[in-house]
Amino acid sequence: MEKNKLRNVAELYREAAMSYAAEKSFLTRNGPGQFDGPTYKELYDAGLDLSAALIEVCRLQPKEHVAILADNRIEWMIADYAVILAGAADVPRGTDATEHDIEYIVNHAGCRIVVVENQSIWEKFASLLDKLPGVEHVVFINQFSYQKTRLECHNIHDLIAAGKAIEKIEIERRVAEIKPDDLFTLIYTSGTTGAPKGVMLTHGNIISQIRNLPLGFNRHDVMLSILPIWHIFERAFEIISIASGAKTVYTNVKHLKADMQSVKPTFMASAPRLWESIYNGILTKVAEGSPIKRALFHAAISVNHVYRQALREMRGQNLQILPQNIFMRMAAILSSTLVIIATVVPALLLDAVVLSKIRAATGGRLRATISGGGALPLHIDEFFNDIGIAVLEGYGMTETSPIISVRLPENAVIGSVGPLYSETEIRLVDIATGATIYPGRDYFGRKGELHVKGPQVMAGYYKNPEATAKVLKNGWMNTGDLAIMTANGCLKIVGRSKETIVLMNGENVEPVPIESKLLESPLIEQCMVVGQDQKFLAALIVPRTEALKQFGTDLQTLAQNAEVKKLLKAETHRLISGENGFKAFERIGGIAVMGQLWEKDRELTAKLSLRRHVITELYEKEIQGIFE
**Residue 82 belongs to a domain with what CATH number?**
3.40.50.12780
What's the confidence (pLDDT) of residue 343?
A: 98
In 149-260 the beta strands, taken as DSSP E runs, fall at 152-155, 183-189, 197-202, 222-225, 247-250
The mean pLDDT value of the chain amounts to: 94
Between 379 and 432, residue with greater pLDDT: 379
Mean pLDDT of 243-267: 95
Position 234 pLDDT exceeds 90:
yes
Mean pLDDT of 424-432: 92
For residue 138, is it within any domain? yes
What's the confidence (pLDDT) of residue 278?
A: 93
Position 506 pLDDT exceeds 80:
no
Share of the chain above pLDDT 70, in %: 99
Measured in whole angstroms, the distance separating CA 84 from the mean position of its chain's CA atoms is: 24
Tens digits of residue pLDDT in 521-566 = 999 999 999 998 788 999 999 999 999 999 999 999 999 999 999 9
Q: Strand pairing of 448-453 and 425-429?
A: antiparallel
For residue 418, is it within any domain? no
What's the confidence (pLDDT) of residue 566?
A: 96
Q: State how far the Cα of 137 lies from the Cα of 151, in Å rounded to an integer.
A: 6
CATH of the domain at 591: 3.30.300.30
Between 44 and 276, residue with greater pLDDT: 44
Q: Is the pTM of this model over 0.75?
A: yes
Tens digits of residue pLDDT in 314-328 = 999 999 999 999 999
What's the confidence (pLDDT) of residue 192?
A: 44
Tens digits of residue pLDDT in 573-624 = 999 998 998 888 899 999 999 999 999 888 988 778 888 878 988 999 999 9
For residue 540, is it within any domain? yes
Position 158 pLDDT exceeds 90:
yes
What's the confidence (pLDDT) of residue 98?
A: 86
Lowest mean pLDDT among 134-143, 301-310, 412-421, 594-603: 594-603
Structure confidence at residue 427 as a pLDDT band (50, 70, 90):
very high
What's the confidence (pLDDT) of residue 193?
A: 47
For residue 402, is it within any domain? no
Residue 105 CB burial class (10 angstroms; 0-12, 13-18, ≥19): buried
For residue 187, is it within any domain? no
Q: State how far the Cα of 577 lies from the Cα of 444, in Å rounded to an integer.
A: 25
For residue 113, is it within any domain? yes
> CB-based contacts of 115: which residues, under 8 Å, 6+ apart?
66, 67, 68, 69, 70, 79, 138, 139, 141, 156
Position 504 pLDDT exceeds 80:
no
Total domain count, the chain: 2
Q: Which of the listed residues 178, 200, 223 is the one where a domain comes to its end?
A: 178
Structure confidence at residue 190 as a pLDDT band (50, 70, 90):
low
- Domain interval for residue 516: 501-627
> CB-based contacts of 100: which residues, under 8 Å, 6+ apart?
none
Is residue 621 helix, strand or coil? helix
What's the confidence (pLDDT) of residue 617?
A: 85
What's the confidence (pLDDT) of residue 362?
A: 94
Mean pLDDT of 140-144: 95
Q: Which of the listed residues 178, 207, 241 is the one where a domain comes to its end?
A: 178
Position 122 pLDDT exceeds 50:
yes
For residue 614, is it within any domain? yes
Between 191 and 513, residue with greater pLDDT: 513
What's the confidence (pLDDT) of residue 194?
A: 56
Q: Which of the listed residues 160, 178, 196 is the one where a domain comes to its end?
A: 178
For residue 419, is it within any domain? no
